[in-house]
Amino acid sequence: MSKKAKNGVSSATQPKEYKKFVYNRVYTCIFLAFIQLAVSLVLLYFVEHQAAPIVRWCIWILAGISVLYLVNRTDNDSSAKMKWIIMILIFPIIGIAMFLLYGEGRPTIRMKKRLEKSKADNKDYLIQSERVNGAVESAGRDGAVCKFLRSQANYPTFTDGEVDYYPTGAKLFEALMEAVEKAEKFILIEYFIVGLGKMWDRLREALLRKADEGVKIYIIFDDFGSVLVLPRYYDRTLEKMHPNIKCLAFNRVMPVFAVHQNCRDHRKMFVVDDKIAFTGGLNISDEYIGELIRFGDWKDSGVRVTGGAVRTFIVMFFDFWNSFRKEKVELSTLLGSLEEHENAQLQKEASSLETHGERQGFFVLPYDDSPLDTRSDGEYVYHDIIERANKYIYIFTPYLILPDSLRLALCHASMRGVDVRIVTPAIPDKKMVFRMTRANYSALMEHGVKIYEYTPGFMHSKSIVADDQYAVVGSINFDYRSLYLHFENAVYFSNCQAVLDVKRDCEQTFEVSLLQTEETTKRSWFGRLVDGILRFMDTVV
């Protein structure tokens, strides 16, 4: 038997150092992208200087059709549409190509049909009892999010179980590892990034032990998110480790002008049996737990969910798995028949009532967001919380590149006396995006929104909390790409201790962060010009 290397890759298949550079798919993609850019520039020159008038007319007709398409779309941010329209009218060839590459959130009819079929097959497992439905209805305005996600996305609300908040990636990972040791039937893992290192070594070893015990393990990672930190075809390597491990590398990177650059799987969830689920900003990579220092102290957070809501995580996972994997998994093999599933949920609600009584206004609602439909559920939930707030709104986000609706909602909240505070990183992971984030400060600050930069390092948490009553924690950044172009997930919860824990974490973070002022954000005329250009490009990055 061949000796396995540290990260589960056979030493015989490990490439030599020079081959790692030559065959690295990142460099391949960059090389091909430069070729495409050169071809585009040559084509642009040809059209402008050599092409016959009829060719030019065809180009402009195509640009006109593209503009009409954008004007009549109802599922996109208005300012984003205007930016793309301007780019297409000024640079029709490059503008249209860039829109297809970066701006179109619905890549293929085939992908959409696959996901719709999978959701239709599994929808009966998303059960909301009449008792919970009555509680949502009686909540009035406070039940608006629950009613929206039920009617539009078919996600039910739960009033049983618990939500526990973890203010650091290290604490969340320790809780996750404790849950792994208790696994008896299955483990579901889905992350944007799975990277080799100490964190993955520890998790991988635990998963292999559980696989030996008969636990079924299903893993999804995004191919683009993991391109720099995993060997090529690592999904196949994982499946070779154990017959109880199955893996899907989602939406493989294609170094061509294609809409596959969007619709990345940015979701983050970890499920153990039908008992425990985790979500938040955490990926499986060493910097998220402080084992690798890249951008100062890495601030992350997440939640653990128990009770009936865990089953929504399971459905969301297999909606994805069954859409893009040939070997399907029947939910009945994991959750029992529909009748057994419904009875199990009723028992959990009854147990919760016996233990806690009727917890007034306590709701737990996991949900996801897809770029393939005609709405942004993530934006709606954020927007609803902002509109309902009367006292305060605290937000953690690594990127602050807001669509008009959210920017205006935050400004209006501040203007009516709500204490609106946003924490972003002081040490960036992407300098261009960091500059874009800062370019969006002034429009908020002039209306009283307080913006802090997390001075110890990089802020990667994605959360919002308001009025000691409502909170959301998940994978959804406050930026255009998360809200419109990627698959995301989060959990909404209300009127519980976890909401207060999120608030406490925010207050402690404010103390080590720098409040931005006109002085700290002052720009020269050239800097303001650059910021204006970056704001124009913020739907591309």
Question: What is the tens place of the pLDDT at every residue in 352-367?
Answer: 887 887 788 999 999 9
Q: 213-216 — which CB contacts under 8 Å span 24+ positions?
A: 214/244, 215/183, 215/184, 215/185, 215/186, 215/187, 215/244, 216/185, 216/186, 216/187, 216/244, 216/246
Q: Is a pLDDT exceeding 50 seen at residue 20?
A: no
Average pLDDT, the chain: 86
And the tokens for 144?
A: 């608006």
Give residue 47's pLDDT band: very low, low, confident or very high (50, 70, 90).
low
Tokens of 92: 């029709």
How far is the CA of 75 from the CAs of 224, 367, 375, 382, in angstroms? 25, 19, 5, 16
Give CA torsion, residues 282, 313, 322, 334, to 10 deg.
120
Domain boundary among the residues 334, 360, 386 is at 360
* Domain contains 250: yes
Q: Considering 299, 329, 360, which residue would you say is the last residue of a domain?
A: 360
- Residues 6 or more apart whose CB falls under 8 angstroms from that of 148 comprise 377, 380, 381, 384
Whether 343 and 481 share a structural domain: no
Cα–Cα distance, 325 to 329 (Å, whole number): 9
Q: Which pLDDT does position 459 carry in this prediction?
A: 97
The answer to whether residue 10 scores a pLDDT higher than 60 is no
- Residue 146 falls within a domain, yes or no? no
CA 142 to chain centre: 25
What b-and-e string marks burial along 235-260, b requiring 16 or more CB atoms within 10 Å of the CB? bebbeebeebbbbbbbbebebebebb
The pTM of the full predicted model, rounded to 2 decimals, is 0.86
Lowest mean pLDDT among 243-257, 305-319, 402-416: 243-257
**Tokens matching residue 377:** 């559920």
Is the pLDDT assigned to residue 12 strictly greater than 50? no
Same domain? For 455 and 497 the reply is yes
Query: Do 404 and 259 lie in a common domain?
Result: no
Question: Which of 283-287, 403-407, 450-454 has the lowest average pLDDT?
Answer: 403-407
**All residues at 6 or more sequence positions from 13 whose CB lies less than 8 Å from its CB, including other chains:** none
E strand map for 234-311: 245-250, 269-272, 276-280, 297-299, 302-306
Question: Do 165 and 76 fall into the same domain?
Answer: no
The CB-based long-range contact list for 352-358 (8 Å cut-off, 24+ gap) reads 352/159, 352/160, 352/161, 352/307, 353/160
> Do 87 and 133 lie in a common domain?
no
Residues 342 and 201 in one domain: yes
Burial of 479 (0-12, 13-18, 19+ CB in 10 A): buried
Give the pLDDT confidence score for residue 541 in this predicted structure.
53
Residues 92 and 130 in one domain: no
Q: What is the pLDDT of residue 258?
A: 43
Is residue 163 assigned to a domain?
yes
Residue range of the domain that includes 453 = 377-536
Decide if 503 is inside a domain: yes
Give the confidence band of 344 by pLDDT, cuts at 50, 70, 90.
confident
Residues 3-28: what's their mean pLDDT?
43
Question: What is the C-alpha separation between 363 and 151, in angstroms, rounded?
Answer: 16
- Looking at the chain, the whole-number percentage of residues with pLDDT higher than 70 is 83
Residue 473 sits in the same domain as residue 507: yes
- 539 Cβ partners below 8 Å, 6+ apart? 77, 80, 83, 84, 102, 103, 480
Q: Helix H segments across 357-451?
A: 377-388, 404-415, 431-439, 441-445
The larger pLDDT score, comparing residue 352 to residue 530, is at 352
152 within domain boundaries: no
pLDDT (tens digit, 9 = 90+) per residue, 206-245?
A: 999 999 999 999 999 999 888 888 888 899 999 999 999 9
419-439 per-residue burial string, b: 16 or more CB within 10 A, e: under 16: ebbbbbbbbbbeeebbebbbb
Of 326, 360, 394, which residue constitutes the final position of a domain? Answer: 360
Chain CA centroid to CA 219, Å:
17
Terminal CA-CA length for the chain: 47
Pairing label, strands 457-459, 297-299: parallel
**Per mean pLDDT, which range of 10-24, 46-60, 194-208, 354-368 is the poorest?**
10-24
Q: Is residue 280 part of a domain?
A: yes
Residues 244 and 295 in one domain: yes
Does 149 map to a domain? no
* pLDDT for res 464: 98
Sort 223 into a burial class: Cβ within 10 Å, 0-12 / 13-18 / 19+.
buried
Mean pLDDT along residues 369-392: 93
Q: What is the rounded distance in angstroms from the CA atom of residue 489 to the CA atom of residue 366? A: 8
Flag the least confident range among 41-45, 227-231, 450-454: 41-45
Count structural domains, the chain: 3
Q: Which helix (H) or strand (E) segment is 275 a member of?
A: none
What whole-number distance in Å separates Cα of residue 408 and Cα of residue 294?
Answer: 34
Model confidence at 107: pLDDT above 80: no
Give strand pairing partners of 194. Answer: 284
Query: 392 by DSSP, 3-state: which?
Result: strand
Question: Which CATH number covers residue 449?
Answer: 3.30.870.10
Quick check: is 148 in a domain?
no
The model's confidence at residue 481, banded by pLDDT at 50, 70 and 90, is: confident
Once rounded to an integer, what is the mean pLDDT over residues 278-296? 95
Are the beta carbons of 126 and 315 closer than 8 angstroms?
yes
For residue 522, the 8-state DSSP code is -
3-state secondary structure of 390: coil
Q: Looking at the structure, do residues 278 and 292 belong to the same domain, yes or no? A: yes
The pLDDT confidence band at residue 70, using thresholds 50, 70 and 90, is confident
Q: Based on the fold, state whether residues 215 and 290 are members of the same structural domain.
A: yes
Is residue 427 located within the same domain as residue 509?
yes
